[in-house]
Structure 1
Amino acid sequence: MSAMEPTNTHEFPLDHEPIEAWQRVGSAAVSGPAGVDVTTAFAELGSIGGADYGLWEMSVGSMRDVEGDEVFLVISGTGRIEFEESTRPDIDMAPETLVRLSDGEKTRWTITEAPLRKLFIGPSEG
């Protein structure tokens, strides 16, 4: 796929992988419903003006993360971001929610309707 071609953000295929052990919430081996692994998927679509953009999604369940600088728009799904070690209020996410995250923020993502899919834009890493 070329970054110059129109992309259907709802139908673009993403391959899910289980989250890493450090991202799991609580002492359970999995953080999803009924013993199902929580998974995420990612696809970088291109870059413009020193920023990368792409798609990311997560299955139902909870996970921890350490954020990088980014702005994202929720395309599908619902959930909540809670901020650990911060006074920043929680963010409820649904389609059309625009969110700004800052580098180093420690978060807990809980997805209730999946997949939660977002279009993200962030600084290029290379």
Structure 2
Amino acid sequence: MNRVLDVAATVPTAPLDPGTVVDGAPEAGSRALAAVAGVEVGVWEMTPGTATDVEVDEVFVVLSGSATVSFDDGEHVDLGPGSVVRLRAGEATTWVVHETIRKIYVA
């Protein structure tokens, strides 16, 4: 049984759907680390660029990098190491990644 989750492990990334890319050529990917009581814990990463997304229920903590997330209600959140954010299913967001961002998520 592995008790230590490797949040530094390589996360495979791939180009985003061109229909979601606003600027640049961002790539993103995730790696599941564990399932706890039916909830997934994993690591997600996105390279610099701008893309839109529709969120799932999730709480995340930024491990490294920087980005700004804009929500359709007008709120903007600047992200950096240690930022903790709650996303709700169905929220439309725009991610502007300044420096490759890596987060650990619970969804």
**Structures share fold, TM-score greater than 0.5:** yes
- Aligned to 2:19, the other structure's residue is in SS state helix
TM-score, length-scaled by structure 2: 0.93
Distance in 2 between residues matched to 1:14 and 1:57, nearest whole Å: 7
Residues 52-105 of structure 1 show CA distances to partners (whole Å, capped at 9, x for unaligned) of 110000001100000000000000000100012x24x21110000000000000
- Percent identity, aligned pairs only, is 31
What amino acid does structure 2 have at the position aligned with 1:94? G
Aligned-residue Cα RMSD (Å) equals 1.3
Asked whether 1:24 is paired with 2:14, we answer no
Match of 2:59 in 1: 71
| TM-score for the superposition, normalised by structure 1 | 0.80
Q: 1:13 aligns with which of 10, 21, 26?
A: 10
Cα separation, 2, equivalents of 1:13 and 1:5: 18
Structure with larger Rg = 1
The whole-number CA distance in structure 1 between the counterparts of 2:28 and 2:38 is 25
Higher strand proportion, which one? Answer: 2
Matches within 5 A, 1:30-109: 31-32=23-24, 37-84=25-72, 86-87=73-74, 89-109=75-95
Gapped regions of structure 2 (runs ≥ 5): none
